[in-house]
Chain A
Amino acid sequence: MKIPEHSALLVIDLQAGEDTDGIPLMEGSTTFENAPKIIKFFRDHNLPVIQVRELHRADMSDFGRELDGTEGVHCLEGTVHEQFNPLTAPVESDYTFYKRRYSAFLYTELDLLLRCKGITTLFLIGGLTDVCVRFTAVDAHQNDYHFKVVTDCVTGSSREAHEFALLNMKYLQRDSHVTTQEILEAEV
């Protein structure tokens, strides 16, 4: 594989904390094993690394409908969960921003940043495959970006939901699945 010109890595919601912070998670995730390698690859090749984290205000004023489903209170400001995970934490050359909703495009500066940097392909890692990763992919797609989801570096709410979300992303862009190994062996 060749990394397309004008690519960037988007790291979605890899945040700190020992517990799962109100979010269901599938067994057997390899995200934290693979994410540091992929991030290092992008940094080593001077390709942009963009990190987004989900944050909610401590008074819970911005949850909207997010507590009407399966997820509990999560990513509160002032708790350990507001921080980037130490295993994948940003360095100075990374771009960072926060979001209040699932999609990293909704009410954020992401689209502006991508336009200013001339980025046309987004590599996606993080969680959840079936929620924030998928809906970020959908918005990338609808905003005319190419996206690549790293299938062994994303974690779903359940194995089944993870698999269906990957299938859904492939429906949108037939070449959108890549693996960690393919990236690490890719030409730049």
Chain B
Amino acid sequence: MAGFVDFEITWRADVFSGAPQSSSAAEFGTVGINFRARKPRNEAEWTAALPALNCEVPPTRWSAVPTVGWGAVPA
């Protein structure tokens, strides 16, 4: 059993605008985020979470390309 469940992005914001030097952040709409996840309590919880594995972020006002997916995250 290797992975994480209950993945959640709890915050996102522009943390690059106004930095002393220009960057590629604006070009790609880069934002800072906070995310959390936890280890499954047991094999059963991990098995139950796997079908929800999805690397697409649901459409919101942010059309983000995540570095990790929602739901179960295999490690």
Q: Do A and B interact?
A: no
Q: Which residues of B contact A (CB under 8 A)?
A: none
Residue numbers of A with Cβ under 8 A of B are none
